[in-house]
């Protein structure tokens, strides 16, 4: 267990990163510091393999949703693709190369979606 300058818990093996202000896990932070980053309203969908042992992951960035909305959308997209995934730092990660499926599903749900990267 590591402590920050203010003496509070900053990381827990059970919950991961902790908010230093409210001392809650970052996913349940109540101090308002974890707001979605400002963007242009376009969801950018890309495929990444860096740092993942060569395995492809579909990454969705730029969605202007709160944490609950992002988790709910992530669940829908993972079910549509038939694979696992997670929400990390306001980006949605879906295991596998599902860029076209994710873009089609986002457009069907009313989001502006664009393919990013090569």
* pTM score, whole prediction: 0.68
Relative to beta strand 57-61, strand 85-88 is unpaired
pLDDT of residue 4: 44
Residue 43, strand partner residues: 113
16-20, 30-34, 77-81, 89-93: range with lowest mean pLDDT? 30-34
What is the band of 45 on the pLDDT scale with cuts at 50, 70, 90? very high
Domain ranges of the chain: 1-34, 35-115
CATH of 35-115, one of 3.90.1150.10, 1.10.8.50, 3.30.780.10, 3.40.109.10: 3.30.780.10
Report H helices in 15-112.
67-81, 99-108
For residue 96, pLDDT beyond 70: yes
**Percentages of the chain per state (helix, strand, coil), in multiples of 5:** 25, 30, 45
């Amino acid at each position: 267990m590591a402590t920050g300058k203010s003496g509070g818990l900053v990381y827990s093996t059970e919950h991961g990163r902790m908010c230093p202000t409210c001392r809650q896990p970052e996913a349940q932070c109540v101090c308002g510091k974890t707001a979605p980053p400002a963007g242009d309203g376009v969801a950018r969908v890309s495929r990444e393999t860096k740092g993942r042992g060569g395995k492809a992951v579909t990454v969705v960035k730029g969605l202007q949703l709160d944490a609950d909305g992002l988790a709910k959308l992530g669940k829908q997209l993972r079910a549509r693709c038939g694979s696992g995934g997670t929400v990390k730092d306001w980006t949605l990660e879906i295991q596998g190369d599902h860029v076209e499926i994710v873009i089609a599903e986002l457009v069907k749900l009313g989001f502006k979606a664009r393919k990013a990267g090569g």
